[in-house]
Amino acid sequence: MMTGTLQVVTLTPNPAIDHTVTLERLVPGAVHRARSEQFEAGGKGIGVAAVLAALGVRVAAGGWLGAENPQRFERSFAQAGIVDAMWRVPGRTRTNIKLADAERGETTDINLPGIAFDASLLAGAEAGLLQTLRPRVGPGTWLTVAGSLPPGVTPADLARLADTLRAQGARLMLDTGGTTLRALLEVLRPAPDFVKPNRAELEDLVGHPLPSPGAVADAAAQLQQRGVALVVVSLGGDGAVIASQGRRWFAATPPVPVATTVGAGDALVAGTLAALIRGRAPLDAAVFGMACAAARIQRIAPGLPPLAEIDALAAQIRPHAL
């Protein structure tokens, strides 16, 4: 097992076992016969950690796991080479259902709420998690805070954890949405180093629709004005808007067959972080992240193809300034 500080530590407060059921076509109200099913350790931060490990980045997965059913996560971490920095709490980790429509290349998510924390449980869980994370965080370590919050955990609780680790030199990446993202941006000082909302999350943050890449870029510029160094806004199949160093770009996604959209955002975040760690400029890093996402959506099974295939996809992505 790796010891000492790592390149990335992900923080997933509300992990889940992802149960993906693949259908020929999803028809509401109809009885379906599934083509296949698959279970995997899920949660945004855990998905990011899996892609980072596949890219050769030294990474730990942190967060809270239910003590009654951690085995799938433990096996997944061991197989992928991810350091297990999860703190076990009483209860069972939730299961999320994902219905993959093979004909449309779309996925419908049904997410359960997760383990409920009261004040006493949260105090012990926070102390325990910091106990596992502090030895693995040092100057330059990326702390990636991703996903939803379980019942009883607030954005202020998450900010307190992040601030403690930033005091040890961690750089902060946020991949959260809705009220959590808004609340964290209001209280975190300095601002996060890297934020990756999708279009809907950014629309929720600014309070109005963003119908075009230009409108998305204007909203991303507002985040930069708050001090966020790199903003990558995913636009689904349309591509992404990237904002850094006072400039904004739009980049279209390369045309690829879509097997599932599960894990695309995680691959985008992980690929961008891996490229930043290896010294690439922010724009080039985000393009590599987009290529990882384009590679990920072509397969139901988790994982990435060989690096040469990802680089070939990256070569097809040509950002243009907005």
As a residue count, the chain comes to 322
CA distance 184 to 154: 10
CA distance 299 to 20: 13
CA distance 89 to 68: 9
Look up residue 300 and give its two tokens.
């139901």
Out of 109, 266, 284, 311, the active site residue is 266
* Sheet of 106-110, strand order: 36-42, 16-23, 94-101, 106-110
Quickly list H helices, the chain: 44-54, 71-80, 119-133, 155-166, 178-187, 199-206, 213-225, 264-277, 282-296, 307-315
CA distance 99 to 265: 17
Q: Which of 195, 187, 196, 132 is nearest to 165 (CA)?
A: 132
Q: How many CA atoms lie within 13 A of 243 on its CB side?
A: 27
The sign of the dihedral angle between the CA atoms of 251, 235, 162, 292 is negative
Whether 18 is a known active-site residue: answer: no
Catalytic residue list: 266
